[in-house]
Amino acid sequence: MPKGEPAEGGLRERKKRATRAALVEAAVRLAVERGVEHVTVDAISEAAGVSTRTFFNYFDSRDEVFVMVGADAGDRVRQAVLAAPSRLSPLEALRDALAAELEEVEQQQELWRLHAEVLRRAPQLLARRIGAHMADELGLAETLAERMGEGSPLFAEDRPPLASPEEEERRRALGLYPRLLAAVGGTAVRVAVEHWSVRQGEAPFADVFRETFEHLAAGLPQPPFPPRATDIR
């Protein structure tokens, strides 16, 4: 808990995260069972044990519950990047911030799989999810730039949505490195999760994630591979 934050503030935040997670899980499971087109806000709310009014405290529409998965996690990652010790490089600060958010991946593996299945079945949601991811990536790049002292006046609390006329101006205000680092960080998470998912039992997810960032920190040199049987004489 951050210094000076009242205990009830931390508890309230945990309750909000739990409610949002319950709504997302209910929506995903119902969509797998019934198909996205047959899932209503009322059904999601009932399955999560909350009122419809509570649903709209967290999401603006039914589709958003499928699209904005992890939105508050993105906010926490950005805050953690800015709060990381100055001795850490931008890559190290990003690695640690992402690792903190991914601590429960092994416990949530089934939900990740189901969510991917829902998006594959509903191309319109997948397209919106990609747009939301791009917006989150842009915000993360701005945060990395701010940490590096390269922030611009466009780095603001109320960032415009990705499709707004300000998007191109925001991108022009960013240097290449923070944009590349934000994109590479997101890709590293996706690859680590996918690699671990298909090879469970070989190593804990935390080890796979750490190895992924070790490759990035080393500049992606080709690792040594064991010789093939055909190469052994």
Both 165 and 105 in one domain: the answer is yes
Both 157 and 44 in one domain: the answer is no
Domain that holds residue 46: 1-62
pLDDT of residue 75: 86
Both 53 and 102 in one domain: the answer is no
| Residue range 123-162, pLDDT digits in tens | 888 888 888 888 889 999 999 999 998 654 444 444 444 4
Domain edge (last residue) among 62, 85, 110: 62
pLDDT of residue 163: 52
pLDDT of residue 2: 42
Both 185 and 86 in one domain: the answer is yes
Both 7 and 101 in one domain: the answer is no
Residue 21 in any domain: the answer is yes
pLDDT of residue 73: 80
Whole-structure pTM value: 0.73
Both 197 and 142 in one domain: the answer is yes
Burial class of residue 83 in the structure, from the number of CB atoms within 10 Å of its CB (0-12 exposed, 13-18 middle, 19+ buried): exposed
Both 107 and 191 in one domain: the answer is yes
Domain edge (last residue) among 42, 62, 82: 62
Domain edge (last residue) among 62, 78, 110: 62
Both 58 and 75 in one domain: the answer is no
Both 56 and 84 in one domain: the answer is no
Residue 103 in any domain: the answer is yes
The amino acid present at 99, given as its one-letter code, is A
Both 26 and 76 in one domain: the answer is no
Q: What is the pLDDT along the chain (233 residues), one digit of tens a residue?
A: 343 444 445 788 888 888 988 999 999 999 999 999 999 999 999 999 999 999 999 999 999 888 866 667 888 899 999 999 999 999 999 999 999 888 876 777 788 788 888 888 888 888 888 888 888 899 999 999 999 986 544 444 444 444 566 777 777 788 899 999 999 999 999 899 888 877 777 888 889 999 999 999 999 888 886 655 444 44
Total domain count, the chain: 2
CATH number of the domain within which 56 lies:
1.10.10.60
Tell me the pLDDT of the chain averaged across its residues.
Answer: 82
pLDDT of residue 122: 87
